[in-house]
Every structure is written in structure tokens, then in C-alpha cells.
Amino acid sequence: MTAPPHASPLIDTHCHLDMSQYDGELEDIINRANTGNVAGIVSIGIDVSSSLANITIARRFSCVKATVGIHPHDADKVTDRELADLIELARAHQDEVVAVGEIGLDYFKAYSKPEIQRDVFRKQLRIAKQLDLPVVIHDRDAHQDCFTIVKEEGPFPRGGIMHCFTGALHWARRFIDENFALSVGGITTFPNAKTVREIATHIPLQSLLLETDGPFLAPVPYRGKRNEPAYLVEIAALVAKLRNISIATLAHATTRNAQRIFNCRFTAPSEETS
């Protein structure tokens, strides 16, 4: 998959490069992303160990940035020591860490009790404000509680991202009013994804981001296979078509949005030398 000449670069704002599905292939995956015109990747932490792993990847590859956070699935297991570890990681690796996430609420799978999820979510939102970092939020079947907590814990001067958001358009607009952007991914390419397509089409361009959520949720025509950052071009093409704008216009806007939220610029993919 090769990007057209002079194409505007894309940013994959949500991927999990540390996961085992990518073992032994990381350099090839990043090279394919570069060939596909993906100039930057944000690799997302879901617990302390994955946060550290993503920081290590970000130190190795100049196009990768990392986040630190604990996913709501693991909220039942979170200790105060682990929350302190997130703060220490972010402070020790300020060049690599660009956000706190993936944090939030998941009432669909509910691996952790909802009341514990809410408590851990609030604590990590406060950590983000303490560190002056944006947040990356996972919200599945928990829109009302998620919004209520964001509203009560805010405002968030650095804002944040509602990752792979699948709520109704009116919820999207309420989060935008709280200084949050929304990222859309492979689900947008699924023919029956009416709600997600409405978001991709109708929210303001300055509030829109693109993501793969790799290795999960590969877009059409790769649906059912392992996802990776290079496939972001398929998502961008569909979103541009929905909005009736050029891919270049979409890429320019979403890349600018990512750079603004994460407060960084992404350099051309290359392996760091020690």
C-alpha cells in the first residue's frame, strides 16, 4: 500500500504496538506505515507494564509517542502504587509520553465493577491534570456516567480524545463542548456502522482524529485480520468520501488536530540509535 505522491501525512492516534500480535515485526510494521504515509503513531498504555513497553518503543522509533494509563477492564486490580508509577513514568519520559490513557469506563464487558471503574477513572483524570497532559478515554456503553465524570472533574485545559467513539451524535457534541476530540477507526468502514459514520461525517473537522486501534478492528478490506497502522489510509479514504472532501484536506486537518492535542510534532519514521 503506497501513498500518492505529495500526500499529506496521517497520524494514527491510537494503536497498541506493544501487543504480542506484533512480536518480531515491529520494524516492518512501522516501515509499512511510513510507506502508507502514516507519519506518526501514538501507542497506548493499558496498564503500567504496557505503558513502560510503549515508552521503550517510542524511544526506539522517532515516529512513535506513548501514553500511560490503566484500562477500565483492570480497574479492580489497581493499587495506589500503580497510579504513582504512572506519574513517575510520565515525568521521567516527557519526550515520549503525550497523554494519560487508555482510561475510562466499559459497562459492556464489565470486567471490573462499575463503581470501581468510576473511582479509578476519576483518579486518572486528576493525574492527567496534575501532569498537564490530555487524556485518551475509552467509553463503551457508559456515555452518561463518562460525561458526568468528565464534567465534574473538568475543565481540562489540555482536552482529550474520545477513542473509537460509538455513541450517538448528540453525545459526541456534548464531549466536544468539554474540549474533547473524537477519533474514528476501522468500524467506520463497516457497512452497517451508521452511528459511527454519522459522527465521522458531521462533527466539526477541528474535532476529528483518525486511529486504527491496531491490532484490533481492521478496516475493510482487511476486516477480520490483524490491524496495523498502515491500514489508516483505508479509514482516511472512507472518512474523506463521507465528508465530501479530499484525503489531503482530511489528512492536513486531522494531523494538525493530533499535533495540537498531543503538543508534539511527529518526525519521519526511523529507528533510533543508542
Instruction: Summarize the confidence of residues 144-162 as an average pLDDT.
Output: 97
Residue 239, domain member (yes or no): yes
Asked if residue 254 belongs to a domain, the reply is yes
pLDDT tops 90 at residue 268: no
Domain total of the chain:
1
Interval 169-208: pLDDT, tens:
999 999 999 999 999 999 999 999 999 999 999 999 999 9
Within a domain: residue 249?
yes
The secondary structure of 145-210 as a DSSP string is: HHHHHHHHH---TT-EEETT--S-HHHHHHHHHTTEEEEE-GGGGSTT-HHHHHHHHHS-GGGEEE
In a domain, 272, yes or no: no
Least confident span in 21-30, 94-103, 265-274: 265-274
Q: Within a domain: residue 242?
A: yes
134-151: pLDDT as tens digits: 999 999 999 999 999 999
pLDDT over 70 (residue 270): no
Is residue 5, in this structure, part of any structural domain at all? no
**Domain limits at 53?**
10-262
The CATH number of residue 123's host domain is 3.20.20.140
Alpha-carbon distance of 16 to 69, in angstroms, equals: 13
Dist. CA 134–CA 254, nearest whole Å: 16
**172 part of a folded domain:** yes
Which pLDDT tens digit goes with each residue over 15-28? 999 999 999 999 99
